[in-house]
Amino acid sequence: MKNKVYFSCTSLLTFAFLFISCGKVLDRVPDSQITEEVAFATWDKVNSMANKLYRDMRDRDKGIVGLTDFSISGITDECKGTKVETAIPDQFNFGTFGPSIGMVGPGKTLGIYWGDFYNSIRKTNVFITGVEKYKSPDNPLTAGDLKNRVAEAHFIRAYLHFLATRWYGDVVYMDYVVDLAGDLKFARQSWPDFVKKIMVDLDFAIANLPARHIDNEYGRADKGAAMALKAIILYMNASPLYNGGKLPGSDTRVGKDSYASYDKEKWKLAADAAKAVMDLQNSGAPRYSLYQGMGSNFQAESNNMVYARIKQIYIDAVAIQNEWILVQPNCKAESWQGDHIPPSYGGAARLQPLQEQVDEYEFVGNDGYGYATYDPLAKSKGFDENLPYQKRDPRFYSDVMYHGCTYQNKIINTASGTDKLGASNATSTGYYLRKFFHEDWKRSGTWPLHFPMLRLPEIQLIYAEAMNKYYGPSQEVYTVLNTLRARSFMVPVPPGLDAAALHKYIQRERRVEFFYENKRYFYARWNLEPDSQSELAQETAAKASSTPDLVWPYPRTQRVAHGMIPVADATGTYIVSGVTYKMQRFKLEDRVFTSKNYYWPLLISEITNCPSLIQSPNW
Query: Residue 457: which pLDDT band, with cuts at 50, 70 and 90?
Result: very high
Say whether pLDDT at 213 is over 70. Answer: yes
Q: Are 434 and 401 in contact (CB under 8 A)?
A: yes
**Residue 22 amino acid letter:** C
DSSP secondary structure letter of residue 582: E
Say whether pLDDT at 176 is over 50. Answer: yes
Domain 10-241 has CATH 1.25.40.390: yes
- Which residues on neighbouring strands pair with residue 581, listed in sequence order? 568, 574
- Tell me, what's the pLDDT at 100? 85
Distance CA 428, CA 354 (A): 9
Say whether pLDDT at 165 is over 80. Answer: yes
Query: Residue 144: which pLDDT band, with cuts at 50, 70 and 90?
Result: very high
Q: Over range 580-607, report the average pLDDT.
A: 96
Q: Over range 554-580, report the average pLDDT.
A: 96
Say whether pLDDT at 2 is over 90. Answer: no
Distance CA 312, CA 436 (A): 9
Q: Give the phi and the psi of residue 589 in degrees, each rounded to 5.
A: -165, 155
**Among candidate residues 167, 116, 67, the one with its CA nearest the CA of residue 616:** 167
Query: Residue 191: which pLDDT band, with cuts at 50, 70 and 90?
Result: very high
Cis peptide bond N-terminal to 553, omega within 30: yes
Q: Over range 79-98, report the average pLDDT.
A: 93
Distance CA 90, CA 74 (A): 8
* Domain boundaries, given as residue ranges, for the chain: 10-241
Segment 270-320, tens digit of pLDDT: 999 999 999 999 999 999 999 999 999 988 665 678 999 999 999 999 999
Distance CA 601, CA 91 (A): 14
Q: Are 189 and 254 in contact (CB under 8 A)?
A: yes
- Tell me, what's the pLDDT at 26? 45
The DSSP annotation for 480-532 comes to HHHHHHHHTTPPPPPSS--HHHHHHHHHHHHHHHTTTTT-HHHHHHHTTGGG-
**Among candidate residues 166, 215, 217, the one with its CA nearest the CA of residue 194:** 166
- Tell me, what's the pLDDT at 30? 43
Query: Residue 11: which pLDDT band, with cuts at 50, 70 and 90?
Result: very low
- Classify the phi-psi angles of 169: left when phi > 0, otherwise alpha if psi is within -120 to 50, otherwise beta: left
